[in-house]
Amino acid sequence: MAVFTLDASGVERRLDEVVGIIVSAYNSDPATVERAVRNALVVPGFRLVAIEARELGMVGIAYGKRLFPGLSVYLAASHFLDVEARARWLDDAFLVVELAVRKDQQARGFGVRLLNNLLAPVEQRTALLPVRRGSVAQRLCERHGWEVLVESMQARAEGPIFALMGRDSADRAEVWDDRSRG
């Protein structure tokens, strides 16, 4: 098993695989996913990690970027958080935009490894991850100490309902240490 970072040109070269994983994980529209990934590539602070399993190829990806005012997640979360919580969670945050593992490879520790590698070098004070309510990703985050910041929100009027999870960077080493999984 190998976890690695893809820069923008690497994502472009392997775009079909990246899109395929997200489509598999969430049963999403491939054209919409491709457009979202291409749009993310040009955002400052974009970071993508992928994981390959022997003989299976790429089985999961996670990507994110620095959160800044104007992003739909920032605006949606601002409506639910008071001034103090906004300052704590949104002012210096890294947003995990996508955490996806092929459906046939879920519950094997890949999600934790992806988050570990995505967030390890991040300098922001907090990390945020919008997850579909009741999803595997929400349960994974809760098991690893993430807080539910917003129970129910929509980043876009036509979009799905998410819970917004948050984690302090200071806790990252303890939370993301997955060496015990082998």
Interstrand relation of 93-101 and 47-53 (parallel, antiparallel or unpaired): unpaired
Model confidence over 58-71: pLDDT tens digits? 999 999 999 888 88
Instruction: In whole angstroms, give the CA distance from residue 105 to residue 80.
Output: 34
pLDDT of residue 179: 36
| Token reading at 173 | 């080493």
Assigned CATH topology for domain 2-181: Aminopeptidase (3.40.630)
Q: What is the pTM of this model?
A: 0.86
pLDDT of residue 158: 72
Model confidence over 155-165: pLDDT tens digits? 667 767 888 99
Where do runs of H (alpha helix) occur along 48-178?
72-80, 83-90, 110-119, 136-143, 172-175
